[in-house]
Amino acid sequence: MKKLLSPAGIAASLGLALLLALALAGPALWGEAATQRAVADRWAPAGSEFHFGTDDLGRDIFARVMAATRLSLLLTLGATAIGVGGGVLVGLTAVVLPRYPRRFLVWIMDMLLAFPWLLLVLFFTVIWGATATGAMLAIGLSGIPNLTRLVYNLAASVSEQDYVRAARVAGAGPVRVLFRHILPNIANPLLVQASASASVTLLAFAGLSFLGLGVQAPEYDWGRLINEGVAHLYTNPMAAIGPGIVIVFAGLVFTLVAEALTDRPGQGLRGVAAAARAAVLPGAAPLPARGAGAGGPGDGADPGGPGDRGPALAEVADLRVAFPDGAGGLVERVRGVSLAVRPGEVVGIVGESGSGKSLTAMALAGLLEAPAVVSARVRRFDDIDLDAPLTRALSKRLGTELGFVFQDPLTSLNPALTIGRQLTEVSRTHLGMSRSRARDRAVAGLEAVGIPEPRRRLGDYPHQFSGGMRQRAMIGMALTGHPRLIIADEPTTALDVTVQKQVLAVLRRAQRSTDAAIVLISHDIALVSGFCDRVVVMKDGEVVEDLDAQHIREQARHPYTRGLIACLPDMRSDRTRPLPVVEDGVPAADPLPGGEPRRPAPGVPTADAGTRSGGSAL
């Protein structure tokens, strides 16, 4: 709205209104004068009677320019629609195609893109003949490769976003993902591009008609009028300049429309964005009352021991994930990881950056796609074999029983959809709830994670939430029903320490109310050991240790784990001395327990500087 009230927005609206009025009323107001011949008035100069003069049959050129508005705009909009529609269709098709057909299609489009558009137009004109319709088809079709490239690039980048991954976890098929999650998020730049290409198309028409390849007599558009007037440029310049001015004006209006649309956030596309997100809002489990039973690291609650929880709910055995190394081979990033999560168990995965934590979690959720090459002896969620093709029913089950909370809540919520739409989608599509019931559940979901005025906030877009609120909303989506497993990949990394604590408390509270198992990924061994029953330590793509969180200090044997622990200050730490560091996976000193840390280099933070984000069993 703001943008529409900007000078560019106001000018664009007024210009569009004027063009529209001319297109609608032009033929009625000036049609007769435009075709009336008066031999006595042939080649009358521009003046008060004939603003742009007359042509060789004595017809009023100004009246012809005004009357030509309708045909000129219709042809321009028609060709633009063909170019944009075709580009969207081919670009989106390319995104969902398998690798090699996709590459082939994009290659063809790139070839056509490199081909001069005027030659393409001439080629099509030869096929369809030099008619107005032929010119429209020719210009429209020659615009498709350009638009295809744009749509493909935009869609490919959006399809990497966490909210699209989350939609896939929730069982959304490729068509649904395209139309509900990708298209609304690329619609804005597409509209801008469509407006900008309308002005180019207008010029292309003028050029074609000027060359005698476009509109043919007795029809006339602005380009043809320039063509007719240019022969008398020296005796009556306005005969060519007049239609030229109108073309420049219309081109300017289209450019201003593009300018006014630029930077408008996705919420302006309510009509386009018909959809929702796909985390996990299953089941009919009652939501926890706000503030009830909070626990977790922040509130000093007991995380509970692993106990005997029966057979694993989710499991990978000998999981390997590899990527092409660019030289025809593969490089393994996850190397034989085995991990089982039992019902209700809270498992933490810690490890240095690049150790394969996220890949393991994504493989556990069945989220890895090409170019990742995944193999495992076992990879299952409950009785669902994640290595076998999933039926629709199994995808739906995965979508409602498995929740994924991503690291960055800004990228994991769809910016084009309101929070309410995203929270109600799974209830409505997977659980078949009515709109009002789904909204009630969504309100309860936001309330459960401590969002004030939840009913009002349902109408907000993600950018209207703070970082902590977005992450709470994300957790609310994953937890308001009864998910059986929630995978949280560094859910608090993007948040400050106070908000981290609140978010973890929310996660803990919701976990208790639903008894879902949790896999929590973090760099922070203190946070994980305070929150989880079990801590799995990863290094270089392997699990190096699997420890009881309550006794991590005594049980840790691997040098890397001992190094991580040694780097944490405790009550006995000498706060006047720097903290030790982990060097190449081995602690600079092994102070367990009561050992003497080596004095690190100057500049290394001291125990006083260490900031802890949660309570710890350490």
CB of 163 to ligand ATP, least distance (A): 18
* Phi, psi (rounded to 5 degrees) for 579: -75, 150
What are the CB-based long-range contacts (under 8 Å, 24+) for 220-227?
Answer: 220/64, 220/68, 220/71, 221/68, 221/71, 221/72, 221/75, 221/132, 222/65, 222/68, 222/69, 222/72, 222/246, 222/247, 222/250, 223/72, 223/247, 224/68, 225/61, 225/64, 225/65, 225/68
CB of 527 to ligand ATP, least distance (A): 13
- Which residues within the stretch 523-562 sit at the binding site for ligand ATP (CB under 6 A)? 523
- Which residues within the stretch 507-526 sit at the binding site for ligand ATP (CB under 6 A)? 523
Please say whether the beta carbons of 135 and 214 come within 8 A: yes
Interaction of residue 351 with ligand ATP, rule CB under 6 A: yes
Interaction of residue 491 with ligand ATP, rule CB under 6 A: no
Q: Quote the Cα angle for 415-421-425, to 5°.
A: 115
Q: Which residue among 355, 414, 424, 427 contacts ligand ATP (CB under 6 A)?
A: 355
CB of 494 to ligand ATP, least distance (A): 12
Q: Which residue among 357, 439, 441, 470 contacts ligand ATP (CB under 6 A)?
A: 357
Nearer to ligand ATP (CB atom), residue 353 or residue 611: 353
Of the candidates 348, 392, 287, the residue with the CA atom closest to the CA atom of residue 535: 348
Nearer to ligand ATP (CB atom), residue 188 or residue 561: 561
Q: Which residue among 118, 323, 335, 548 contacts ligand ATP (CB under 6 A)?
A: 323
Nearer to ligand ATP (CB atom), residue 191 or residue 538: 538
Nearer to ligand ATP (CB atom), residue 138 or residue 543: 543
CB of 489 to ligand ATP, least distance (A): 7
CB of 355 to ligand ATP, least distance (A): 4
Interaction of residue 399 with ligand ATP, rule CB under 6 A: no
> Which segment (1-9, 100-108, 353-361, 505-513) binds ligand ATP by CB under 6 A?
353-361
Nearer to ligand ATP (CB atom), residue 193 or residue 358: 358
Number of residues that bind ligand ATP (CB under 6 A): 11
Q: Which residue among 19, 109, 359, 419 contacts ligand ATP (CB under 6 A)?
A: 359
- Label residue 511 left, alpha or beta by phi (over 0 means left) and psi (-120 to 50 means alpha): alpha
> Which segment (31-39, 273-281, 347-355, 378-386) binds ligand ATP by CB under 6 A?
347-355
CB of 612 to ligand ATP, least distance (A): 19
Task: Give the residue carrying structure tokens 């089982």.
Answer: 340
Residue 607 per-residue DSSP state: G
259, 283, 439, 451, 510 from 291: Cα distances, Å: 48, 21, 21, 11, 10
CB of 354 to ligand ATP, least distance (A): 4
9, 296, 497, 600 from 258: Cα distances, Å: 9, 50, 42, 58
Q: Which residue among 353, 436, 576, 611 contacts ligand ATP (CB under 6 A)?
A: 353
Interaction of residue 333 with ligand ATP, rule CB under 6 A: yes
* 3 state DSSP class of 498: helix
Interaction of residue 356 with ligand ATP, rule CB under 6 A: yes
Interaction of residue 164 with ligand ATP, rule CB under 6 A: no
* Phi, psi (rounded to 5 degrees) for 172: -70, 135
Question: What six digits make up the tokens of 263?
Answer: 């930077």
Q: Rounded CA gap, 486 and 345, in Å? A: 10
Nearer to ligand ATP (CB atom), residue 46 or residue 374: 374
Nearer to ligand ATP (CB atom), residue 110 or residue 540: 540
Nearer to ligand ATP (CB atom), residue 220 or residue 404: 404
Q: Rounded CA gap, 159 and 309, in Å? A: 37
185, 191, 269 from 188: Cα distances, Å: 7, 5, 8
Q: Which residue among 101, 129, 354, 595 contacts ligand ATP (CB under 6 A)?
A: 354
Interaction of residue 160 with ligand ATP, rule CB under 6 A: no
Beta strand residue intervals within 251-381, DSSP E: 314-324, 330-341, 346-351, 373-375, 378-381
CB of 610 to ligand ATP, least distance (A): 19
CA atoms within 13 A on the CB side of 26: 22
Q: Which residue among 69, 358, 412, 550 contacts ligand ATP (CB under 6 A)?
A: 358
> Is residue 228 within a helix (H) or strand (E), and if so which, with residue range?
helix 222-230
CB of 413 to ligand ATP, least distance (A): 19
261, 305, 307, 482, 532 from 346: Cα distances, Å: 47, 9, 11, 16, 5
Q: Rule CB under 6 A: which residues touch ligand ATP?
A: 323, 333, 351, 353-359, 523
